[in-house]
Amino acid sequence: NAGVTQTPKFQVLKTGQSMTLQCAQDMNHNSMYWYRQDPGMGLRLIYYSASEGTTDKGEVPNGYNVSRLNKREFSLRLESAAPSQTSVYFCASSAGQPNTGELFFGEGSRLTVL
């Protein structure tokens, strides 16, 4: 039962470097999400994809881009990393259509930007 798989689990970047966080789900879910988790801030939505071929901004999209590659995969790209992007990133999916709001999370990717 893989569920939602994120890679990498840990990454250290220097300011200005780029990287892509990968996410894949094997539950045939329609909707996928990227959140960041920061101390005292809870989870904040970066981008989401309600269905294959669509993406929308969440609360904190600046500095990020996303690609819904197919129904299974949803990647998050940092084009020019900044220290403010040091965080733990979670990918999640939900069945959708209709969306019940029940999310399934990956284990997280801890990113440090120096």
Partner 1 sequence: GNSVTQMEGPVTLSEEAFLTINCTYTATGYPSLFWYVQYPGEGLQLLLKATKADDKGSNKGFEATYRKETTSFHLEKGSVQVSDSAVYFCALFVGGYQKVTFGTGTKLQVIP
Residues 93 and 33 sit within 8 Å (Cβ to Cβ): yes
Considering only 31, 85, 87, 93, the residue that binds partner 1 (CB under 8 A) is 31
Q: How many residues does the chain have?
A: 114
**C-beta of 85 vs 106, nearer to partner 1:** 106
Distance separating alpha carbons of residues 67 and 45, to the nearest angstrom:
15
**C-beta of 26 vs 107, nearer to partner 1:** 107
**C-beta of 3 vs 63, nearer to partner 1:** 3
User: Hunting for tokens 């939900």 — which residue is that?
Assistant: 94
Q: Based on the shown chain and the rule CB under 8 A, indicate whether residue 43 belongs to the binding site for partner 1.
A: yes
Based on the number of CB atoms within 10 Å of its own CB, is 98 exposed (0-12), middle (13-18) or buried (19 or more)? Answer: exposed
Considering only 40, 72, 73, 111, the residue that binds partner 1 (CB under 8 A) is 40
Q: Based on the shown chain and the rule CB under 8 A, indicate whether residue 99 belongs to the binding site for partner 1.
A: yes
CB atoms within 10 A of CB 79: 12
Q: Based on the shown chain and the rule CB under 8 A, indicate whether residue 5 belongs to the binding site for partner 1.
A: no
CB atoms within 10 A of CB 88: 15
Total chain residues near partner 1 (CB under 8 A): 25
Please report, as ranges, the residues that interact with partner 1 according to CB under 8 A.
4, 31, 33, 40-43, 45, 48, 50, 56, 58, 90, 92, 98-108
